[in-house]
Structure 1
Amino acid sequence: MSTNPPGTPAHQASRALQVAQRVHSIEPFHVMEVVKAASALARCGTDVISMSVGEPDFTATELVQQAAIDAIRAGATQYTDALGLPALREAIASHYASAYGVDVDPRRIIVTAGASAGLLLACAALVDVGDEVLMPDPCYPCNRHFVAAFGGKPVLVPSNAAQRYQLTHDDVEARWSDRTRGVIVASPSNPTGTSMTGPQMQQMLAAVRKRGGFAIIDEIYQGLSYDHPPVSALHFDADVITVNSFSKYFNMTGWRLGWLVVPQALVPAFEKLAQNLFICPSTIAQHAALACFHPDSIALYEERRHEFKRRRDFLVPALRAIGFTVPVMPDGAFYVYADISAVAHNDSGDSAAFCLDVLGKTGVAIVPGADFGLAAPARHVRLSYATKLSRIEEAVGRMGRLFGR
């Protein structure tokens, strides 16, 4: 028993510290329960096939790796400007011209410590306490947590396959209130792998612009588009804020590097926030990323994009054949969002229990819908095809035998 009298520093230090209220509004990742269970099975010798994590199985190209080594050997490891290396900002601007046919002033580009840091900066700059921000349901869970972290209120708008699980002009018209400040959407989306069509994006942005709101467009999977050339939101509205990353198309997840394109008038505000919150992105990663835009690197990324498409083209029909419902073909990223109503045999009708059941009986790790919103999450799972096709084929075979297909 403590002998320190109440009120003394030692007694005060022994009491549990209270976390800020914002922490309580951030939900845990349900996927981590699947990941923990999968790791436990693997340690016991089970051959686990992971279709849970949104991470390419490819790594940085040889040119990128060598550029990092060269930067280290040259001592190019000190702080950069908070907005990023000028050469990298110029290279990104050139990439917009070649890949998307959009002219972007390099001064509008802000290099960030991953797309997550970019989204944090955008919310810090634009979201005040009490502001409402519209986003489709389902969506990437961290998007709503970024809004909540700055006192805003994420408003999840149920979407469906007919609208490609995306926010529409009609959604903005119907759900905008006096407290609404803007929208956050991702195209292509996590978890659905679906993109907004050009007209859909244009009409939605027009509805936001008419109300003087902001639009943050997450384009981190833009490079992984399969059925049509990718179209950046910047093509329709120069005042949108786009978020991108070197993690997905450029296969540099652990390097933690991304970027924003923001209106020129907002650059000083973003720069001030970046200076105070992050100082600068990783210098080594920035020097390495310059090699991403070498023609040899781009050629390899395109080969890998075609491989992702090959996996998708096998997986979606195969899932449908064993009983999953996939109402709309994903056209980007590396995810399939599937309805399990026809194959779920557990009594709870809960996708989290379903995923654990599938994992325990087949060794295939997939993700429950609970992480991605409130629109029928118990009926949905997300499957990632960021793994070898041979492993995907084996996973489908195992699940098919479990479901009697």
Structure 2
Amino acid sequence: MGGVGAALPHEARLASPKLASRIDAIAPFYVMELAKEAALLERTGRRIIHMGIGEPDFTAPEPVIAAATEALRRGVTQYTGALGITALREAIAAHYASVYGLSIDPARIVVTAGASAALLLACAALVDRDDEVLMPDPSYPCNRHFVAATEGKPVLVPSGPHARFQLTADDISRHWGPRTRGVLLASPSNPTGTSIAPAELERIVKAVRARGGFTIVDEIYQGLWYDARPVSALSFGDDVVTVNSFSKYFNMTGWRLGWLVVPPAMIGAFEKLAQNLFICASALAQHAALACFEPETIEIYEARRLEFKRRRDYLVPALRQIGLSVPVMPDGAFYVYADCRGAPHPAAGDSAALTKAILHDAGVALVPGLDFGSYAPRNHIRISYATAYPLLEEAVARLGRLFGR
């Protein structure tokens, strides 16, 4: 007699529910797979220099830690409103005024559980089933997966060095079709570290607007600029949706905190989605993030930005000297997108094989272009300089020995 706790037949125990078909549209994340392989080597005693994962080696500065400690002491750890605490939304709006000269109504700011939640909310609000969304190729892989997860169809447009690996207004004219709903851009970009020139970004916004579409711009790396001061896409109209994060410039990756700026007419829709999908972002992280905008903290962040620039200015010429071509100088973020076809190595031109060889033979973790789209992914590798300057020097020396340079 079967009863509570009775063993199930063998066939029943092996049965598994059918997975949703959307899983098939999500490709493996090679960055994380390579990180696991590097971790295995480290467990054998190898010393690996990590230049793969895009995470600042800096962590939250002391004023942010102190604000988090004080928030814990005061017990402000319960749910917040779905759009975020008022003080933080006001601080973010003030930051736009200070840095970009923009007057942004705090009501338009939606605080999220990281930029990933922000992108998911944006796609959930704007993308219907089978809607096509244009984005550059190469681009951050999760961006296309957010579109696919909301049953849209990402359309990757080949974007080479001639366009700084970015989408152009002319691309929109050529690729906009009857099912196209909008564009999803990133400036500066992961994996290339390149930004869209302000005049071109304005042309893109106007081209999309003329077609009744949406423009989503991922600006999570915009605080990390090294040449010309950046211009936010918000400068070109309040119909643009922008995504930002406390992870990169503010060095708070594991705190999982980001934000959106949304058009005034969409605030209610985003709030309803946020309430149902996430309830709210971390209350502790929100109260800690208030300290990010204090003058003493901004001074720390600006010093760190200049350190990233120093690393870039060392690394790009060094890579070129040992045989890795850098066709476009990155002007933001902390990535170099290098063409590996001319590398003095038998695996040159096959980024997957080359990065594996570099990991095992030189102890340096880099990322093949396979994650980032279909535009010549085996010709390119992504190199992160979000690691200490002495380690960059050691990594270049190891690569030079491997390449016989």
How high is the TM-score relative to the length of structure 2?
0.96
**Distance in 1 separating the partners of 2:344 and 2:332:** 27
Contact kept? 1:139, 1:191, Cα under 8 Å: yes
Distance 2:94 2:191 in 1: 29
Contact 2:137 2:156 in 1 (8 A): yes
CA apart distance, 1:349: 4.2
| 1:346–1:353 CA contact under 8 A, matched in 2 | no
In the alignment, is the contact (CA less than 8 A) between 1:195 and 1:331 conserved in 2?
Answer: yes
Q: Secondary structure at the match of 2:259?
A: strand
The answer for the alignment partner of 1:362 in structure 2 is 362
Match of 2:237 in 1: 237
CA contact (8 A) 1:344 1:354 kept: no
Distance 2:199 2:78 in 1: 45
The answer to whether residue 39 in structure 2 is matched with residue 39 in structure 1 is yes
**One-letter amino acid matched to 1:17:** P
1:178 aligns with 2:178: yes
The question of 1:122 aligning with 2:100 is answered no
Q: Which residues of 2 match residues 1-400 of structure 1 at below 5 A?
A: 12=12, 14-343=14-343, 345-346=345-346, 349-400=349-400
How far apart are 1:344 and its partner, in Å? 5.8
Residue pair 2:323, 2:344 contacting (<8 A) in 1 also: no
Please, which runs of 5 or more residues in structure 1 have no aligned partner?
Answer: 1-7
Structure 1 residue ranges (4+ consecutive) displaced by more than 6 angstroms after TM superposition: none
AA in 2 matched with 1:106? P
Cα offset for 1:32? Answer: 2.5
Deviation at 1:21, TM superposition (A): 0.4
Instruction: Say whether the 8 Å CA contact 2:202–2:236 is kept in structure 1.
Output: yes
Question: What SS does structure 2 have at the residue aligned with 1:111?
Answer: strand
Cα deviations by residue, 1:16-69 (Å, 9 ceiling, x for unpaired):
221100011100011233212211111111111000010000011111001111
Question: How many angstroms apart in 2 are the aligned matches of 1:344 and 1:328?
Answer: 20
1:304 corresponds to which letter in structure 2? R
Distance in structure 1 (CA, Å) of the matches to 2:76 and 2:344 = 54
Instruction: Note if contact 2:340-2:349 (Cα within 8 Å) is conserved in structure 1.
Output: no
For 2:42 and 2:239, locate their aligned partners in 1 and report how far apart those are by CA, in whole Å: 48
- CA offsets per residue over residues 240-289 of structure 1, 9 Å max, x none? 00000000000000000000000010000000000000000000000000
**Cα distance, 1:41–1:11 mapped onto 2, change above 3 Å:** closer
* Secondary structure of 1:70's aligned partner: helix
Amino acid at match of 1:385: Y
Q: Partner of 1:357: helix, strand, or coil?
A: helix
Supply the distance in 2 between the matched residues of 1:71 and 1:133 (Cα, whole angstroms).
Answer: 41
Whole-Å Cα distance in 2 between the matches of residues 11 and 159 of structure 1?
51
What percentage of residue pairs aligned between the two structures are identical? 65
Distance across 2 between alignment mates of 1:335 and 1:347: 22
Whole-Å Cα distance in 2 between the matches of residues 331 and 381 of structure 1? 17
Q: Which moved more, 1:350-359 or 1:298-307?
A: 350-359
Answer whether contact 2:347 2:353 (CA < 8 A) is retained: no
- Matched residues in 2 for 1:271 and 1:92: separation? 18
Aligned AA (1:210) = A
Separation in 1, partners of 2:361, 2:10: 51
- CA positional deviation for 1:212: 0.5
Residue by residue over 1:110-160, the C-alpha shift from the partner in whole angstroms, topping out at 9 and shown as x without a partner, is: 000000000000000000000000000000000000000011000000001
In 2: Cα distance, 1:61 partner to 1:105 partner = 28
Report if the CA contact (8 A) 2:325-2:340 is conserved.
Answer: yes
- Cα displacement string for residues 293-318 of structure 1 (whole angstroms, at most 9, x for unaligned residues): 00000000000000000000000000
Helix, strand or coil for the counterpart of 1:292?
helix
Query: Equivalents in 1 of 2:306, 2:211: separation in Å?
Result: 40
1:106, 1:13 → 2: CA distance? Answer: 53
Answer with 29-38 or 318-327: which moved more: 29-38
Maintained 8 Å contact 2:341/2:350: no
CA separation of 1:235/1:193 partners in 2, compared to 1, >3 Å: closer, same or farther? same
Alpha-carbon separation, structure 2, partners of 1:348 and 1:385: 21
Q: Distance in 2 between matches of 1:347 and 1:368?
A: 12
2:374 and 2:320 map into 1 onto residues whose CA distance is: 24
Q: Aligned residues, how many?
A: 398
Secondary structure at the counterpart of residue 223 of structure 1: coil
